[in-house]
Amino acid sequence: MPRIIFMNDRLVPEDQAKVSVFDHGLLYGDGVFEGLRSYSGKVFRLEAHIDRLYASARAICLEIPLAKEVVSKAVNDTLAANGLSDGYVRLVITRGAGSLGLDPNKTSHPQVIVIADTISLYPREFYEKGLRIVTASTQRTQSAALSPRIKSLNYLNNIMAKLEGLRAGCVEALMLNHKGEVAECTGDNVFVVRDGRLLTPPPDAGILEGITRNAVMELATAAGIDCREVTLVRHDLYTADECFLTGTAAEVIPVVDIDGRTIGSGMPGPVTRRLTDAFHELVRR
């Protein structure tokens, strides 16, 4: 069955979901996006995702032509049109078609696109036994060049780091900032556990403040786990008791080996398992 896509103001079959070859989203990665998850027919933290989308657009002077409530409805309508109760949604806003040049003032009609599909998670084995990751030589884009809080369509920086991980036989790769501090992985935020405390890089390390990341921090605090945003370097990860990643697609997934160093016992730790269970309970609610 062909998928149904929301394009601007209506639902259309996927073969009718088209953008111009002159769209600056295609030509220059000029646009913003969000990835969302639906559980049992309800989109997880939809309002937070929509707010972040509009904040990203505002930061690059891109005016989304639809109101927030209309975009939110489009997300739910697209899921329903595809018969998806548990699924993944990609919400994309492009700058629109223009001339062959960088000037965004020469573009028009920003495109609002909603794609809903089934979610492809990591294999269950990775959740049970943990991931092995490596540190990429590709650095996280400096905040002075482009704010990491903007979830832009230009993900080449992350893709290059992802390639490094894949070529090393890993499905994820750790990215450092220009100071050599831990930022995040190519698509996920990073947490470590040390002496019962949960630690994660702060926003000024060059991270995207993930929706799942924030949810896990809230769950940790509610469970009485001391959770802090602190500057981390690779040594802190190598010597941690536990490490895990969070993301919309990944949810909560343990890491047991970084750059050939075994983390903790080499198996998912108790804090990781506890927060994984708490997150699954949260989304079920």
Could you give the residue numbers annotated as active site?
Answer: 151
Which residues are 107's β-sheet partners? none
Query: For residue 186, what are the CA distances in angstroms to 13, 47, 60, 183, 245?
Result: 31, 24, 22, 10, 11
Closest CA to 88 of 281, 219, 251: 251
Q: Cα(85)–Cα(49) distance, rounded to whole angstroms?
A: 18
| Burial state string for 86-95 with b = 16 or more CB within 10 A and e = fewer than 16 | ebbbebbbbb
Strand 197-200 relative to strand 189-194, pairing: antiparallel
